[in-house]
Amino acid sequence: MEFSFQHEWQVNAPADRVAEVLLDLEHYPEWWPQVLAVAKIDDDTARVLCRSRLPYTLDLVLSARERGTTHLQVDLDGDLVGWSTFDLTPTAGGTQVGYRQEVSLTSPWLARVARLAEPVLRWNHTQMMAGCREGLARRAQA
Instruction: Quote the pLDDT of residue 54.
Output: 93
Domain extent, residue 14, equals 2-141
Q: At 28, which CATH number?
A: 3.30.530.20
Per DSSP (E only), the strands in the chain are 2-11, 35-42, 45-50, 58-67, 71-78, 80-91, 94-105
Instruction: Quote the pLDDT of residue 106.
Output: 87
Instruction: Quote the pLDDT of residue 113.
Output: 83
Looking at the chain, the whole-number percentage of residues with pLDDT higher than 70 is 100
The residue-averaged pLDDT of 42-49 equals: 96
The residue-averaged pLDDT of 110-123 equals: 89
Domain count, the chain: 1
Confidence of residue 127 (pLDDT cuts 50, 70, 90): very high
Instruction: Quote the pLDDT of residue 112.
Output: 85
Q: pTM to 2 decimals?
A: 0.93
Q: What is d(CA 65, CA 83) in angstroms, rounded to the nearest whole number?
A: 9
- Could you report the per-residue pLDDT of 55-108, keeping only the tens digit for each? 999 999 999 999 998 999 999 999 999 999 999 999 999 999 999 999 999 888
Instruction: Quote the pLDDT of residue 109.
Output: 80
Task: Please compute, for residue 57, the number of CA atoms within 13 A of its CA located in the half-sphere on the CB side.
Answer: 10
